[in-house]
Every structure is written in structure tokens, then in C-alpha cells.
Amino acid sequence: MQAFQQLVFSGVQPTGNLHLGNYLGAITKFVALQDTHDCIYCVVDLHAITVAQKPSELTSNIREVTAAFIAAGIDPKKHIVFNQSQVAEHAELAWIFNCVARIGWLNRMTQFKEKAGKDRENASVGLYAYPTLMAADILVYRATHVPVGEDQKQHLELARDIAQKFNNDFLADNPAYADGKGFFPLPEPLIQGPATRVMSLRDGSKKMSKSDPSDNSRINLADDADTIAQKIRKAKTDPDALPSALDGLAGRPEADNLVGIYAALEDKTKLDILQQFGGGNFSTFKSALVDLTVAKLAPIGGEMRRLQADHAYIDSVLRDGANRARERAGATMSAVRDIVGFVR
């Protein structure tokens, strides 16, 4: 039913410690989609402040994510790279979506429950409304495709529900939209490949995360070759040999995770990797994984550090991206204001 022009949108929070999960689950997909789609990639600083951030660290983290995008291969001239707070339309549409989304919908969001923890009364209102801002990020450009890791699936479903309810609530009696196509598309999540949920290197039942207190749980994009090697050598495994078939990974989360990482870095399937390493021990496999990870990540880390230090360049990329993003977001918001019935 969708006759919307295809457009890719995604975002990454500038909360420090960008890691291999962010890279394989999201950033490599961002890079690949540039060849086939018009893409907008956003450093979501308004989302970052839903939990406390030190202002000076936030500034540096915004530049870090921008540098990582470019170092990984995103072209900010052909596509759009910017930080969310420079385009006020995100917050404006989020407010309207706060009035469309139902409290019951937000109460079901598992990420809020995880992040707020036991002290829910003390969580910010922003953390609770996080998913409506995320829906606004996507829909203010009327984006159709959203590459993300597995953990964002529920938020994407909510964005679709909000788009659908907005279309239902506001367009039913509007002759300009009598064709039934709707104003907002229902954005599709793109969650594919062997590394949509990269797990902690210390505990295969926990997601690799920026906020894990153990730095050994994750490989940071900024890690140098020695640190990457050390972390992989120390990664938790089990005493058995690697299996040769996929069902042999069942009940072995650490083995499954390392095989998934290898497959994603090589752009192959887990089965390909098991056919290569099945029957062998972990130390041989880990040595190959160290070589592969260092070959892929160390150059990105080096380039990222170089770019990140060039504030004038990074800030000019973000300003230019924001100017182009604002133009598109402004056009959507003009139409939204008319649809809702505001006088302007």
C-alpha cells in the first residue's frame, strides 16, 4: 500500500563507548544502504539527555559519533549527517506525538523498564517519552526504512502505531487525503544478518552495552589493536570444540556470539564460519577472530580519533547536515500544522 518515496533514517546516541554492537548492528548497515537509498543519519543528542550527561562529555561524544560515522564510510556530502538538537522540528513533532501515543503503549516499552530500573519514580519524563521522540525523528522526514539492532524493534513498532493513529485520527475528514494513502508512511525496521544482537564478551546472556561497567565486556570502536586482541583472548567461552552445524550452537551463547561477530565482520553466514572452524578449539578460532577484528576496526578507530580532534571539520559537517535536514523537516511540519488545524 505504501507509495512513499524510499528514505532511510537512523540514529545513534552520543553516550560514549561506541562499540562493536553499534558498529555491526547499525553502522555497517548505514554504510551499505548509501549505495541504494537516500539516507539521513542522526546523532540523537536530545535522546542522550534523557539520562544525566556531563555537558563537556556530551559535546565530545557528539563529535565521537559523527567521526565514527565518517570513519566507517558514511559520506556526509551525498547523504545527511547531523545532530538532532540543531533541528527543532524533531522536538515539535515529538510533542504532537505525545498527544497521539497512549500511556498504555508507553507502559509496555521494555527499554524504559530496563533503564529506569527499580527507581522508576525518579526517572526523567524524557526517558519515559523517549520512544515518541524516536518516532518523530523518523517521521519528520517521512522515512520508510530504519536500520537498527534487535533491541530497537519494539520502538519501531510503536513508531508504526503512532503513524497509523495519526493518519486515522487526523485524515479521516480531510478531503486532501481522501486517497487513503495517509500522510505518514509506516516505517519498516531493517534488522538483518548474524549480528543484530551482539552480546557481552564476559556474559553471553547480556547485550553488549555502552553502560556495562566492565570495559572488557565490549570492544570499543576507539580501542587500539592490542586492546582488541586482549579483550577477545579474555572473552568467555566454554570447554567444548566449535560445532560444525548451527544447531550445535544451541545453549552455547558465548560461542554463538563470537561466531556471529566473525560472520558479520566477514559478511558471511554463521554456517559458513562453522564450516571453516567446526571441530577446532577456541584458541585457534580466537586468533583468527583477533586478526579479522583488528584488520576491520583498527583503521576505523585511527581515522575516528583523527577526525574527532578536528572540531572545526566535524562541527561544519553537522551544521551543513542540519541545514539540509531542517529544510526537509520544515516542509513536513508545515503540512502537519495544517493537518492538525493550527493557525499559522
Catalytic residue numbers?
A: 115, 207, 210
What is the Cα–Cα distance from 109 to 113, expressed in whole angstroms?
A: 7
Q: Minimal distance in Å, beta carbon 132 to ligand TYM?
A: 11
Cα(91)–Cα(87) distance, rounded to whole angstroms? 8
What does the DSSP assignment read for 294-342?
HHHHHHHHHHHHHHHH-HHHHHHHHHHHHHHHHHHHHHHHHHHHHHHT-
**By CB under 6 A, which span of 147-155, 256-264, 297-305, 326-334 interacts with ligand TYM?**
147-155
Asked if 149 is part of the footprint of ligand TYM (rule: CB under 6 A), the reply reads: yes
Least distance CB 255 / ligand TYM (angstroms): 17
In the region spanning residues 39 to 98, those forming contacts with ligand TYM, defined by CB under 6 A, are 44, 47
Count the residues in the chain: 344
The residue at minimum Cβ distance from ligand TYM is: 25
Closer of 22 and 167 to ligand TYM (Cβ): 22
Q: What is the DSSP letter of 23?
A: I
Residue 152 within binding range of ligand TYM, rule CB under 6 A: yes
- Min dist CB 240 to ligand TYM, Å, is 24
Question: 185 to 204, contacts with ligand TYM by CB under 6 A?
Answer: 196-198
With vertex at residue 142, the alpha carbon angle to CA 336 and CA 138, rounded to the nearest 5 degrees, is 105
Please report how many Cα atoms fall inside a 13 Å half-sphere around the Cα of residue 170, on the Cβ side. 23
Among 7, 8, 16, 25, binds ligand TYM (CB under 6 A): 25
- Applying CB under 6 A, does 148 fall inside the site for ligand TYM? yes
Q: Is 134 in the site for ligand TYM (CB under 6 A)?
A: yes
Closest to 154 in 3D by CA, of 106, 201, 95: 106
Cell numbers found for residue 246: 548451527
**CB-based contact 86:327 (threshold 8 Å):** no
Binding site for ligand TYM (CB under 6 A): 9-13, 21-22, 25-26, 44, 47, 134, 137-138, 146, 148-149, 151-152, 155, 196-198, 207-208
